[in-house]
Each structure stands twice: as C-alpha cells, then as structure tokens.
Amino acid sequence: MTVLPADLVAALPRLAARRPLLIACDYDGVLARLRDDPSAAVPEPGVAEVLARLATRDGVTVALVSGRGVDDLRRTSGLTGPYRWVGSHGAEFDGPIGPEAARRRDALAARLAPLVDGTPAARLEVKPASVAVHVRQVTDRTAAAALLARAREQADPELTLKPGKDVLELAVTDADKGSALCRLRDDLGAACVLYLGDDLTDEDAFAVLRPHDLGVKVGPGDTRATARVADPTAAISLLVALDEALTSTRG
Ligand SMILES: O=P(O)(O)OC[C@H]1O[C@H](O[C@H]2O[C@H](CO)[C@@H](O)[C@H](O)[C@H]2O)[C@H](O)[C@@H](O)[C@@H]1O
C-alpha cells in the first residue's frame, strides 16, 4: 500500500457520498504497469479484488475505459465482472465498429506496414478502430521519432491522431474518451465521476469532468486532472481507500 496525498484522502468521503457514482479507470499505466510487450501488461496485484468489491457497492458503477479494443482488454486483463467496457478510446461503446470503418482501418494498415517493417523493433498493432505504430522497443530513438513523423504524414483529414506513450495511433473514428465518459455519465445518471488516467488520450476525459468529480493523473506529465498519484500501485491504494470510504458513507 502507498501513502496517498492527504488532500486526496480527504476528498474521498465527499465522492463516496454522491451516488450514483461512476468510477472509470484507464487500463495501461493505471491498472497495469507499462510493459514492452502489450500482451504482458497484466493487472497489478489487488486490481481484480478491489474492482470487484467496488462494483458491489450500492449506487456504484465501475467502467474500464481503454485505448485497447474491448476483446484485447478482456483477454489481456483477465478481468471479469459487472463492469462497463469501453474500448478503442470510446469507439467501442456499445458494440463492435461497423464494416466500413473496418475496411478503412485495413487500408490504413496496409499503407503503414511497409514503414513499420523498415524500422527494426517497431510494431504495427491493428486494432478495431485504429492502427497503432509502437516504438517502445526501438533502441534507435532517432529512427523511432522519424517513423512516428512518417506515420503522421499518412494521416488524411478523415483520420484522428492519438499520440500516446511510445505509440501513435491513427483512428478511423473521431471517438474519444471524453465523449465516452459523457455518455456513461448520462446513461447512469451519475451524480459524481472519478476518472483515473495516465496518458494523453485520458486528457479528453479529464476535460469533461465537473466540479463535483475528481480526475486523478497517474504518474508524471502535464495534465488537466486536479489530483495526482505516482504510479499504478498508488492508483490501486486510492481505489482501496475509496472502497473503505464507501462502506462507511451512505449514498
Ligand atoms: O487507454 P489505455 O488502456 O491506457 O491503452 C492505451 C494503449 O495501451 C497499450 O499500449 C501502451 O501499453 C503497452 C503495454 O504496457 C506498451 O507496450 C505501449 O508502449 C503503450 O503505448 C496498447 O497496446 C494500445 O493499443 C492502447 O491504445
């Protein structure tokens, strides 16, 4: 367990008292430590247990809001539970993407593949609504930057660029985590939202939070979030502390 900032701990009873409460978590970098191999990014110890407990609390909904496709998120995380699953940065909200978007994604992947093949250790990830160019394992950082720049040049105006940690995604929809969070809030009639995220695409979610909500940035970097914890271990400690606050606070 990590010692959390005192002001963050002090904010938890206020969150716990406002229900329906939506607890929305990004995955990579928040519930799972970043790894060279995306398929190795399994949840940190304690994640499955605390999410399962939170989801049983009265008036609480847990949502996983990820850049991963939903199938990949379920498979890699191994998490199961009565959660809302939002994938592909919001493009997979209530089901898979349509065939036309999939066709455009495949055409994009075919254009990007030769660029990626020309950079040792770079990797192309074909996702439901986007194609991601990963450079985490490219040791020549000049070559990594050059590849991302060339991939960026492939983006026509119909694509949405999503830069992230050692990755550039080119998405065939304009979905983002902010719009997805607004839809979740509306669906649930949530009185309060807690959002935890670590990367640039999570800034869209932090941007739509309201005064009673709480946005928590996990790790370093500029952010619109009003609170911060150091790493996934601290993020899990925060969820455990919120669960304790929920047990002692009536919704
Ligand atoms: O929105 P998230 O749940 O944070 O997903 C964002 C991307 O996560 C994955 O890539 C990132 O994590 C990998 C595993 O730690 C790491 O190898 C990679 O460098 C990171 O960019 C995933 O592969 C992407 O599809 C997600 O969009």
Fold of 99-171: Alpha-Beta Plaits (3.30.70)
For residue 202, give the DSSP letter: G
- Atom number in ligand 1 closest to CA 201: 1
Distance of CA 6 to the CA centre of its chain: 25
**CATH number, span 6-93+176-248:** 3.40.50.1000
Element (H, E) at 163: strand 160-164
Has residue 10 got a pLDDT over 60? yes
Domain residues of the chain, as ranges?
A: 6-93+176-248, 99-171
> Which tokens sit at 64?
């996983």
Predicted TM-score (pTM) of the model is 0.96
123 lines ligand 1 (CB under 6 A): no
Structure confidence by residue, pLDDT tens digits, 101-119: 999 999 999 999 999 999 9
Residues 126-132 have a mean pLDDT of 97
Closest alpha carbon to 33 in 21, 45, 23: 45
164 lines ligand 1 (CB under 6 A): yes
Structure confidence by residue, pLDDT tens digits, 61-98: 999 999 999 999 999 999 999 999 999 999 999 888 89
**Does the annotation count 176 as an active-site position?**
no
Residue 211, classed as helix, strand or coil, is coil
Structure confidence by residue, pLDDT tens digits, 203-214: 999 999 999 999
* pLDDT value of position 3: 86
Mean pLDDT of the chain: 96
Crossing angle between the packed helical segments 232-248 and 6-17, to the nearest 10 degrees: 40
For residue 30, give the DSSP letter: T
Distance 26 CA to ligand 1 centre (A): 10
ipTM over 0.90: yes
Structure confidence by residue, pLDDT tens digits, 143-193: 999 999 999 998 888 999 999 999 999 999 999 999 999 999 999 999 999
Q: What is the DSSP string of 33-98?
A: ---SSGGG-PBPTTHHHHHHHHHHSTTEEEEEE-SS-HHHHHHHH---SS-EEEBGGGTBSSSPPP
